[in-house]
């Protein structure tokens, strides 16, 4: 048996219940545990996240350099536009929505507590050749 079991990403925030609700809606997740200071969820695809109360949490300022990117999450999606609509409806906001060309199209967002995350197109959209 492994000494260390699989873990999960824990995001510090002032309101863990609110942030858990955002990611529950984004990932079609279910709450797996909750205490006064922490909420754990598991997404339909198996992604596990937790949100820990820290009343002094300061969100990263990315893309501004003064308190830049500390950590971020990547999520794969089929449809960037549909995912963006869902993010905004849940309280998130676009940070970098440029549409670079090529097989790794991606867009940057911020959750309601200011943590950054990236959506990447799951499958390239470049035209088929031949």
pTM of the complete model beyond 0.75: no
Classify strands 106-110 and 93-96 as parallel, antiparallel or unpaired: antiparallel
Given this model, what pLDDT does residue 88 score?
Answer: 95
Average pLDDT in the chain: 81
In whole angstroms, give the CA distance from residue 39 to residue 17.
Answer: 7
Contact 59, 15 (CB under 8 A): no
Render pLDDT for 21-76 as a digit per residue (tens, 0 to 9).
999 999 999 999 999 999 999 999 899 999 999 988 877 766 666 655 567 788 88
Whether the bond into 63 is cis, omega within 30 of 0: yes
**Helices 16-27, 80-89: inter-axial angle, 10-degree rounding:** 150
Neighbour tally for 68: CB within 10 Å: 11
Query: How does pLDDT run across 78-91, given as a tens digit for each residue?
Result: 888 899 999 999 99
């Amino acid at each position: 048996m492994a000494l260390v079991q699989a873990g999960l990403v824990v995001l510090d925030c002032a309101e863990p219940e609110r942030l858990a609700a955002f990611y529950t809606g984004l990932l079609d997740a279910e709450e797996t545990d909750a205490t006064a200071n922490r909420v754990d969820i598991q997404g339909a695809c198996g992604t596990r996240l937790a949100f820990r109360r820290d009343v002094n949490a300061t969100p990263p300022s990315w893309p501004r350099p003064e308190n830049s990117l500390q950590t971020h999450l990547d999520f794969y999606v089929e449809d960037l536009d549909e995912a963006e609509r869902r993010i905004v409806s849940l309280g998130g906001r676009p940070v970098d929505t440029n549409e670079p060309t090529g097989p790794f199209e991606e867009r940057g967002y911020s959750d309601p507590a200011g943590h950054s995350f990236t959506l990447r197109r799951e499958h390239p959209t470049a035209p088929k050749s031949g």
